Amino acid sequence: MEQILAKWESLAASSGALRFLDINLRSIGQVMFQNNPLTGILFLAAIAWGSYAAGAPRVAIAGVVAVVVANLVAELLHVETESLHAGLYGFNGILVGLALATFLAPGALLWVYVMLGAAVSVVVMLGTTNVVKPWGGALTFPFVITTWLLLLATYGFSGLAGTALPTGNVVTAFQPYQGSPLQLIELTQGVFLSISQVFLKASSVAALLLLVGLAVSSLASAAFALGGAILAVLTAHLFGAESDLITGGLLGFSPVLTAIALGTVFYQPSWRVVVYTALATVFTVIVQAALNVALTPFAIPALTAPFVLVTWLFLLPRQRLEGAPAVARDNERPAAVA
Amino acid sequence: MEQILAKWESLAASSGALRFLDINLRSIGQVMFQNNPLTGILFLAAIAWGSYAAGAPRVAIAGVVAVVVANLVAELLHVETESLHAGLYGFNGILVGLALATFLAPGALLWVYVMLGAAVSVVVMLGTTNVVKPWGGALTFPFVITTWLLLLATYGFSGLAGTALPTGNVVTAFQPYQGSPLQLIELTQGVFLSISQVFLKASSVAALLLLVGLAVSSLASAAFALGGAILAVLTAHLFGAESDLITGGLLGFSPVLTAIALGTVFYQPSWRVVVYTALATVFTVIVQAALNVALTPFAIPALTAPFVLVTWLFLLPRQRLEGAPAVARDNERPAAVA
Amino acid sequence: MEQILAKWESLAASSGALRFLDINLRSIGQVMFQNNPLTGILFLAAIAWGSYAAGAPRVAIAGVVAVVVANLVAELLHVETESLHAGLYGFNGILVGLALATFLAPGALLWVYVMLGAAVSVVVMLGTTNVVKPWGGALTFPFVITTWLLLLATYGFSGLAGTALPTGNVVTAFQPYQGSPLQLIELTQGVFLSISQVFLKASSVAALLLLVGLAVSSLASAAFALGGAILAVLTAHLFGAESDLITGGLLGFSPVLTAIALGTVFYQPSWRVVVYTALATVFTVIVQAALNVALTPFAIPALTAPFVLVTWLFLLPRQRLEGAPAVARDNERPAAVA
């Protein structure tokens, strides 16, 4: 593995086209914090499979278009080379592309929107990084804020209609449902879909590809992703969330990202960090439920905002956890192949 | 008084259990900025009386559980000793406990929620303090954001139902009401309940206990609390707020905190500071009404968010007011008994 | 021109009353970033004409009262003299006055509200400037946040009723309308009203006065204002926005400010800056549509929030654009007549 990556790195260094390909693959890997082109290939396969299985191949295409546009804009804006090569200016772009193509109807304007959103995500990435540098990275905040604004605007534009957006409504008290208690098989499905929903996919095959993609880069990341998904599903079940949300992975994808981020990227592992990460993961489930409710009147999805909010909150007091050096900076400007 | 406190301090220094009791009492006092265990006892009496009078003793118990959990978590997170001993990591916790037990139905999950909320409030306190250090303290922001997220989430969890939460609705223009002009007695009640509502209580007896608790620690604080409450009730009356909100103290508890904070803690007193504090207090009434409206679609209460917002806005330009040294730092890290 | 301004400056330096008049005129010019008393006179003429033509002269009067109150409060708060003389503490005040008188019914309390809002806008200006200093100016954020809070509060105050506020409602999917394709004449009207709506006016005469006011101070500013308005109208048309919003200038006033701010004030011109500014201008149209939707449940207007949000987002990564020195600081503290 190491040898293959080293060979690839020397190839990429010798060709502008291969370097650009490398940047885009790493961008896809960075959605789950992996600065690794092989991970990017496996993630891309997961996206492609998930889109194909859902009968919407345009979603995968929009993701690819968006990540390419984002990295081109980043080059035009003369962003720092090291961060660019690590894929840090593309991972928000691909998520913008996937989300817009998932939630909006197909059409010429969709592609204008995808490219515009990808370009803006780079500007927001630059800005957010400047603001949050003292305590961590921008995470997927650029994706969330850009996509929210673009989706909200479609309610005022006849050229861009939503297909999968929730219906706007005011908040209502929880309606008790006919509780058919969840079986283990359903909970297991919820765990896997919690992982694939990070890329807005409901597919166990995609989830397995994502786990493999994580494992080839970092076993710890794969373990925290799986552990985070299990903890999230159990927490949602304990508090009595709706079955469909649990089994569809819709309360688990943000906690998965929180678990990877706090458990492996920003803090060095220790039992204190594991407990701290577990608390943050449980709280992310609550914040996911809370934002689902809070965004009801606006008829937009929460996306990964719960992950961003909770991870920022739990990163801010980082210096209080023993053995937590400034790892975040390494993640923001990785020096070479991870 | 001084002697009793000095004796108590030497006792607390000699015993871990007494020190922990001391920390929790000071935490209760810090809700109104008093680093004083005697104030804490009187405030606790006010809470107990208010809960008992409202037929909900579990509310006081939840407050006590929450403050204890918060301080234990703070110790586990190795927070700075001085701040811990001053009660600065517990005052948000007790408010989280009181609010959750006030707005949610009793049950086993409520206690899980109270302990989870108390633990998270400490993390948020650490993080917020890091962000706002340049211009002031975290105030009750950790309480507000943690409780909002927990309450919002309950609309998606069948295990946790609200009992006293407002019904979600869209904003509607003000409905003129049959104006029975308020009598002096009703305005006076509004003034007292504005003070007790700081702890989510509607009780004049609790208000008197709180005023005594303030007075034993700082006469100026008691005076600004009373003055703030009077100014708030008059402002709300002038603008034509609903009678029930005025007499129930529901437009006055945030202004009371603004008045104490700006008038006695963060700025040194002078006539300019008094005028500035009065402007902030009046504006807090408007922000309370504004947030009541803005939160209508989400069906959650404003809590003390108006106090946090206005006090931060009015603290930011602090260096422009003459005679305003960096008093805030002293408040954040008090060296000894106040 | 230069000579007249130099003569005026020496007159103003010799008389407290003339200096105060000068400050208020510059405050009006600063709404569009012009530190120039002649621009202020022409802008004031535009406001007066627009208010008179709309049959609401009280709106212009409220603007004048507000700018005077704001500058008096700024003097009382001992703000920095240079910024005060450049009109930087008054431009939010006049906008607060214009907006409150536009959206609220006339009456004694309106004037209390106008003066209170003007005073608070100065405090918020001081605070916001402290926070955003590292990357730019406060822009019209103090106007937006102060006016939002004051307008929201009126739904809870019977003494202050809205006349022109939108009705609260939840977000609904776009309703296709009978599309009578816009004629060139209507698009042209949209361009002009996009400029006059910066001051909440729907008047082509006012727009021309504003353009002349810009031109006497800075030809580039006039050009970017006009170019921004054209780009905004075309963008809104392309995405299929409602005709009434386009022709009324209601999707274009924020983009006009974005174009001036990024194109002429904060970045030094170059072809890269023009492209960057164009991207920001297009995105401001989208954010305007998005905030119109997002604010629907609260029944308040977006005001210039889209301009503030997008300009901040696009200013944060400033150092990445070549030839972009710290021009912003010059704008915040202009040394003399521009």
| Contact list, C84 vs chain B (CB under 8 Å) | none
Judge whether C2-156 and C184-329 match in fold: yes
> Touching check for B325 and chain A: CB below 8 Å?
no
Find the CB nearest B174 among C78, C119, C161. Answer: C161
> CA nearest C113 in B: which residue?
B239
For domain C2-156, the question of CATH label 1.10.3430.10 is answered with yes
- pLDDT of the residue at C168: 67
Cα(B229)–Cα(B251) distance, rounded to whole angstroms? 9
For C192, other C-beta atoms within 10 Å of its C-beta total: 23
Which of B132, B239, B245 to mutate to probe the C interface, most C CBs <10 Å? B239
CA B167 vs. chain centroid, Å, equals 24
Segment C290-297 shows an average pLDDT of 93
Q: Among partner residues C135, C170, C293, which is closest to A152 by beta-carbon distance?
A: C293
Which pLDDT belongs to residue A163? 73
A64 pLDDT higher than 90 = yes
HSE on the CB side for C184, CA within 13 Å? Answer: 0
Please check whether residue C127 touches B, CB under 8 A: yes
* Chain C contact present for A109, CB below 8 A: yes
Per-residue three-class SS string for chain A: CHHHHHHHHHHHHHCHHHHHHHHHHHHHHHHHCCCCHHHHHHHHHHHHHHHHHCCCHHHHHHHHHHHHHHHHHHHHCCCCHHHHHCCCCCHHHHHHHHHHHHHECCCHHHHHHHHHHHHHHHHHHHHHHHHHCCCCCCCCHHHHHHHHHHHHHHCCCCCCCECCCCCCCCCCCCCCCCCCCCCHHHHHHHHHHHHHHHHCCCCHHHHHHHHHHHHHHCHHHHHHHHHHHHHHHHHHHHHCCCHHHHHCCCCCHHHHHHHHHHHHHCCCCCHHHHHHHHHHHHHHHHHHHHHHHHCHHHCCCCCCHHHHHHHHHHHCCHHHCCCCCCHHHHHHCCCCCC
How far does C275 lie from chain B, in Å, by closest CA? Answer: 34
Size of interface A-C (CB pairs under 8 A): 110
Q: Give the C-alpha separation, C272 to B162, whole Å.
A: 55
- Which residues from chain B sit within 8 angstroms of residue A239, using beta carbons? 109, 153, 157, 159-160
Q: How far apart are CA C126 and CA C133, in angstroms?
A: 11
* Residue B324 pLDDT: 38
In this model, does residue C314 exceed pLDDT 80? Answer: yes
C79 CB near a chain B CB, below 8 Å?
Answer: yes
Residue C333: what pLDDT? 32
Per-residue pLDDT tens over the stretch C239-276: 999 989 999 999 999 999 999 999 998 777 788 889 99
pLDDT at C207 over 80: yes
* pLDDT class of A330 with cuts at 50, 70, 90: very low
Q: Which of C77, C158, C299 sits opposite B320 (nearest CB)?
A: C77
Average pLDDT score over chain A: 89
The residue with greater pLDDT, A180 or B125, is B125
pLDDT over 80 at A326, yes or no: no
Residue B64: both structure tokens together: 């006590």
The alpha carbons of chain B give a radius of gyration, in whole angstroms, of 19
Torsion of CA B223, B224, B225, B226, to 10 degrees: 50
pLDDT score of C319 more than 70: no
pTM attached to this predicted model: 0.91
Quick one: tokens of A337? 């192949």
**pLDDT for residue A174:** 63
- Would you call C67 exposed, middle or buried from its count of C-beta atoms within 10 A (0-12, 13-18, 19+)? buried
Residue C18 Cα, gap to closest chain A Cα (Å):
42
Nearest one of A186, A167, A211 to A301, comparing CA atoms = A167
C268 or C321, higher pLDDT: C268
ipTM of the complex: 0.89
C245 touches chain A (CB under 8 A): yes
Which one, of B301, B338, B337, lies nearest residue B13 by Cα? Answer: B337
Residue C300 has a pLDDT of: 93
Task: From chain B, pick out residues whose CB is under 8 angstroms from the CB of A172.
Answer: 155, 168
Which subunits have 3 or more CB–CB pairs within 8 Å of chain A? B, C
User: Among A149, A156, A170, whose Cβ lies nearest the Cβ of C241?
Assistant: A156
Q: What superfamily in CATH does domain B184-329 come from?
A: Ammonium transporter AmtB like domains (1.10.3430.10)
C181 touches chain A (CB under 8 A): no
Residues of C in contact with A166 (CB under 8 A): none
Handedness of CA C111, C117, C122, C123 (dihedral sign): positive
pLDDT digits 0-9 by tens, A86-124? 999 999 999 999 999 999 999 999 999 999 999 999 999
B179: which chain C residues are within 8 Å (Cβ-Cβ)? 158
C150 with B314: Cβ contact below 8 A: no
Which residues of chain A lie closer than 8 angstroms to C322, CB-CB? Answer: 78
Which residues have C-beta within 8 Å of that of residue B191, sequence separation ≥ 6?
B226, B229, B230, B233, B249, B252
Instruction: Show contacts of C188-192: CB within 8 Å, 24+ apart.
Output: C189/C247, C189/C249, C190/C229, C190/C233, C190/C236, C190/C246, C190/C247, C190/C248, C190/C249, C190/C252, C191/C226, C191/C229, C191/C230, C191/C233, C191/C249, C191/C252, C192/C229, C192/C249
- Confidence bin at C328 (pLDDT 50/70/90): very low
Q: Give the minimum alpha-carbon distance from C146 to chain A in angstroms, rounded to a whole number.
A: 23
pLDDT bin (cut points 50, 70, 90) of residue A337 is very low
| Model pLDDT for residues A190-237, shown as the tens digit of each residue | 999 999 999 999 999 999 999 999 999 999 999 999 999 999 999 999
Q: Are B171 and C168 in contact (CB under 8 A)?
A: yes
Distance from CA of A70 to the nearest CA of C (A): 14
Q: What are phi and psi of A83, to 5 degrees?
A: -65, -40
Dump pLDDT digits (tens) for C64-103.
999 999 999 999 999 999 999 999 999 999 999 999 999 9
Q: State the average pLDDT for chain C.
A: 89
Assess C18–B contact: CB distance below 8 Å, yes or no. Answer: no
Q: In terms of pLDDT, which residue wins out, A29 or B163?
A: A29
| pLDDT at B175 (0 to 100) | 62
**Chain B contact probe: residue of A131, A293, A295 with most B CBs at under 10 A:** A293
Taking 70 as the pLDDT cut, the residues of chain B under it are 166-169, 173-181, 319-338
- pLDDT at res. B162: 74
Chain C residues near residue A158 by CB distance under 8 angstroms: 174, 176-177, 179, 240-241
Is the CB of residue A313 less than 8 Å away from at least one CB of chain B? yes
Give the pLDDT band (50/70/90) at residue A185.
confident
For residue C179, name the pLDDT band (cuts at 50, 70, 90): low
| Alpha carbon separation from C36 to A85, B39, B93, B95, C31 (Å, rounded) | 47, 56, 53, 51, 11
pLDDT at C175: 63
Does the beta carbon of C184 lie under 8 angstroms from any beta carbon of chain A?
no
What is the Cα–Cα distance from B148 to A290, expressed in whole angstroms?
Answer: 8
Give the residue extent of every domain in chain C. Answer: 2-156, 184-329
Partner A contacted by B119 (CB < 8 A): yes
pLDDT of A333 strictly over 60: no
- Say if the Cβ atoms of B152 and A293 lie within 8 Å: yes
Least confident span in A286-290, A322-326, B122-126, B277-281: A322-326
Can you tell me the mean pLDDT for C148-165?
A: 86
Residues in B closer than 8 angstroms to A290, CB to CB, are 148-153, 156
User: Is residue A294's pLDDT more than 80?
Assistant: yes
